[in-house]
Amino acid sequence: MSRDRSGVAPGRRAVLQAGGLAVAFAWLGVARPAMALVDPHRQAGDAGAAAADGAPAFAPNAFVRIDADGAIRLVMPMVEMGQSIYTGSCMLLAEELDVGLDQIRLEHAPPSDALYGMKILKAQITGGSTSTRSTFTELRQAGAVARALLVAAAAARWQVAPASCVVERGVIHHRASGRSLRYAQVAAAANRLPDPGNVPLKQASAFRLIGKPMARLDSGDKVRGATRFGIDVRLPGMCIATVKACPTFGGRLAKVDERAARAVPGVVDVLRIDDAVAVVAVHFWAAKRGLEALDIEWDHGANRTLTTRDLRAGLATSQATGRAIVGRETGRRPAGDLVEATYKLPMLAHATMEPLNATVHVTPDGCDIWVGTQVPTRVVDNAARITGLPRERIRLHPQYLGGGFGRRLETDYVDQAVAFAKLVACPLKVVWTREEDIRHDIVRPMYHDVVSAVVDRQGRPVWFGDRICSATVLGRWRPGGMRKNGLDGDAIECAADLPYAVPNLKVEWVRHDMPAGLLVGWWRGVGALHNLFVVESFFDELAHRAAADPVAWRRAMLHGDPRTLAVLDRAASTIGWGSPLPPRVGRGVALGAPFGSKVCAIVEVEVGVEGDVRLRRAVIAVDCGIPVNPGSIEAQLQGGLLFGLGAALFNEITIEAGAIEQGNFNDYRMLRMNETPRVDVVVVDSAEAPGGIGEVGTAIAAPALCNAIFAATGVRLRELPVRRDRLAASASAVRDARTGAAAQGGQAA
């Protein structure tokens, strides 16, 4: 893929430098048009969009561009943050356009909900494992529409029927006469033709690309160091700043003695806003040293004494006494043997590999922003508000993201950079340190669940209840997305829609807001992550309580769901479920249907006598519908599972004196290379519509892990993260080798 070091296609460079690809491309200088939601046809705004994009010879919709020189471009509505969506989307378009992946250049789409809004999330947002689900048909249709117009233009020139023409790698052939035309040769003529409407799409049997494992288009540049992430931006005359915000939630800056900082060589200025201070320098190291030299006094505010214990106590009180909103209720709770358990999950930080950063240049005439973000239109809206400039004067230059996990669904770091950039004349790159990044994260909420079941004589549930208590991310992030009864639908995902045939259930949610200033945000796996841990751990409890094999017990409750049964069977057979295991080794299984996919994970662990957990092996089987790129699916499931296992083993955000205690990978650590197990991925053939993948492996990891730990030790973990002291050897907690092996379906070796 030809691309300069900025990560932007070269043909676009002149337009960017001229400022033509501004938010005028999104807003067209007027009020926002109605939401189009990935429309593969011509729509209001396309003409202005194409003009701002260098006036290509052929622009049949918002996504396809063919330039006069023959270059074929895909304007990407989503952002790339490691999930390989650029490759998958390119495959969708190329499949129907009848070109090779090597013939398409990719470029970031400008901010526009009207042109690039995702149909599931109702805006130009990359998240929630929705990208392929939102564009599988639409991007193919965009390619098919473009192909139909180009073929029609060639057929008209030859005065033959379009059906008599075929296309191979962007060349239109008329076999009967031996004539051929390249797409570029008919692009201008095709651009004048009327929209053909919906064009029949290829049947799966005709796919040349979809379903084949394809190498990522961005790997080469990343390996060579040529890809430019937000943190790599370099501009003439640019200064670099690093910041420190008030450590307590909702606190403010009181006063600063900046004399020592200004004495540091390379320091240019010290900037202040309401709750933070920044040191500006000629390079980052000088800025960091200057920041450390500041003498800062904070007004710590109302949360100065807040602790994790306070938050837990408040959550427990709401769980017991708060008003519950019923998310789903079927049937009635019958009389019978009631089993009950309480599960708790901690707050989590995102800790992306690329710390938060943004480069901003504010002038009287406009504002340019270079940033990696999952929400480009939100960035534009907030920059317009902060600068007081019209939206059409905000020019966003999207960059590759060095990890998102939901953190870059927020705009606080960009808002802060814009506020500081208003105070200087030069372009300003603001980079958060790792410590600032973690200590000012917008954290995943903590949860407190009370789950229960009425079981029959065979130990199977005839009623399931889950009372969930948590803060709401949706209620802050998009209040209009809450249901009319006040329910946050994400809070009950994968709890209200079980894969098992349980005739009666009641799933309810109690809203418990955090103290002012403590913001909660989306974290990879969102509601499914929390609920799968609770549900699959509890159902595993029920299986063991019934003295049943956990896989066989689940299998018996999956009648009527052949797709889920298939992933369970494939995972169990791949890992050899039921085969003998050594002492203190166990296997755990977890099953679910997050993000429109069916998934089963089985994890094998060994637990030492001092409570240390060693990951030996993992298998994850998925039915994600039509697999667009099996290679990317395998990579995402492996990475997602390991991400989730590491979080379950190690991660927790705690608060003392109103501030987050963790600050770097020493106390908020990741799974290390020598700790990662072999992960086998099984992709089940399917003709169903695509489901999500990016978060599926993360969401299913924790219950499989904790169920394996139980199988190895007899210790049931109902709280995360895993703590060694809970697993340390004791006469009452650790089974002997024979019992431990039998618990996971095998016999002692």
Q: Kindly report the CATH number assigned to the domain that includes residue 601.
A: 3.30.365.10
pLDDT in the model for residue 4? 33
Rounded Cα gap, residues 567 and 556, in angstroms: 14
Distances (CA, A) of 85 to 110, 117, 264: 17, 16, 44
Which strand (E) or helix (H) includes residue 50? helix 46-52
Name 297's Cβ contacts closer than 8 Å, sequence gap at least 6: 254, 255, 256
Do 521 and 591 belong together in one domain? yes
Nearest residue to 549 via CA among 578, 584, 528: 578
589: left (phi over 0), alpha (psi -120 to 50) or beta: beta
Residue 211 lies in a domain: no
Q: Contact, 546 vs 554, CB < 8 A?
A: no
Do 30 and 58 belong together in one domain? yes
How big, in percent rounded to 5, are the helix, strand and coil portions of the chain?
35, 25, 40
Residue 317 lies in a domain: no
Do 188 and 278 belong together in one domain? no
pLDDT in the model for residue 470? 98
pLDDT in the model for residue 21? 32
* Burial bucket for residue 203 (CB in 10 Å: 0-12, 13-18, 19+): exposed
Do 421 and 503 belong together in one domain? no
Do 462 and 421 belong together in one domain? no
pLDDT in the model for residue 47? 81
Residue 481 lies in a domain: yes
Residue 128 lies in a domain: yes
Domain boundary among 406, 431, 456: 431
Do 571 and 606 belong together in one domain? yes
Do 664 and 715 belong together in one domain? yes
pLDDT in the model for residue 29? 30
Do 539 and 632 belong together in one domain? yes
Q: Give how many domains the chain has, as a whole number.
A: 3
Domain boundary among 162, 186, 202: 202
Residue 220 lies in a domain: no
pLDDT tens digits for range 614-644: 999 999 999 999 999 999 999 999 999 999 9
Do 191 and 120 belong together in one domain? yes
Residue 27 lies in a domain: yes
| 419-452 exposure pattern, b = at least 16 Cβ within 10 A, e = fewer | bbbbebebbbbbbbbeebbbbbbbbbbbbbbbbb
Indicate the pTM of the whole model: 0.92
Do 521 and 379 belong together in one domain? no
Do 543 and 686 belong together in one domain? yes
pLDDT tens digits for range 205-246: 999 999 999 999 999 999 999 999 999 999 999 999 999 999
- Coil, strand or helix at 24: helix
**pLDDT beneath 70: ranges in the chain:** 1-37, 729-749
Per the structure, the complete domain to which residue 148 belongs is given by: 10-202
